[in-house]
Amino acid sequence: MAENATDLSIRLCLASGRSHGFQAGDAEGAKRLLQALDPERVFDRDILVVAGHHEEAAFRASEIRRIEVRAATLPKWPFGPMIERAELIDIDEFDQLRRARADLDREDNRIRADSGYDGLLELEDSTGERSHLMVHGQSIAPVLRAGVLGRLLEASFLHARGTGVATVFNPSHIAGARLFPGLPELPVDALQAERLEDS
């Protein structure tokens, strides 16, 4: 938890592309702020009000793409369904890891259904901005038929951490997602095709 006014700040990233930053005023305010930003509940409300001694601001929760929380000690929030750990990484590291996995034997480059998995997840939000995550999760056998990404996009929350930052994604603003490596079997309702290129 934050201990002083310089320890915790948040940035609300909106669907318009603009963002708004705020600083916790004191340790008690930081504690309440982190409780209010719990990923499992923060987007359940209609309006998110942020108030300080000099200003009050209100935002439609449905218009917030993500919330970035910066602090010396990050909260221990859950990451999301089927995910035990999610780490934010930059695009260069993501591409390097993805290319390395693509060079593996095709049979070895699949998520095993009966064990935990490590994978790379790319999220694209409603503005086209992409976030890159390295994820570790539990056995996916129970959800193979429905598809892992389908479950993630239907989730009520998703959260990831980087160095000194925790990002809470609003699932209603995640326009698409890609998971590497692929699954051992395709979801039954998936359109079966291989990617050509992005535009």
Tell me: the pLDDT tens digits for 173-185? 999 888 877 666 6
d(C-alpha 70, C-alpha 7), whole Å: 8
28 or 184, which is more confident? 28
> pLDDT band at 162, cuts 50/70/90?
very high
Enter the pTM of the model.
0.81
**Nearest Cα to 87, choosing from 165, 156, 181, 11?**
165
For residue 105, the model assigns a pLDDT of: 45
Q: Which one, of 24, 13, 17, 143, lies nearest residue 75 by Cα?
A: 24
User: Taking a C-beta distance cutoff of 8 angstroms, is the pair 92, 166 a contact?
Assistant: no
**What pLDDT does 187 receive?**
65
pLDDT of residue 173: 94
The residues that bridge with 124 in the sheet, in sequence order, are: 130, 176
Residue 176 forms beta bridges with which residues? 124
Answer with the residue of higher pLDDT: 3 or 25. Answer: 25
DSSP secondary structure letters along 88-121: EE-HHHHHHHHHHHHTS-TTTSB--TTS-EEEEE
CA distances from 134 to 18, 86, 172 (A): 26, 6, 21
The predicted structure's pLDDT at residue 182: 64
Q: Would you say residue 43 has pLDDT above 60?
A: yes
| Mean pLDDT of the 63-67 span | 96
The pLDDT value recorded for residue 109 is 47
What pLDDT was estimated at residue 13? 97
Whether residue 112 is predicted with pLDDT greater than 60 in this model: the reply is no
Structure confidence at residue 186 (pLDDT): 65
Q: Which pLDDT value is given to residue 118?
A: 74
45: how many CB neighbours lie within 10 A of its CB?
12
- The domain limits of the chain are 8-71, 83-180
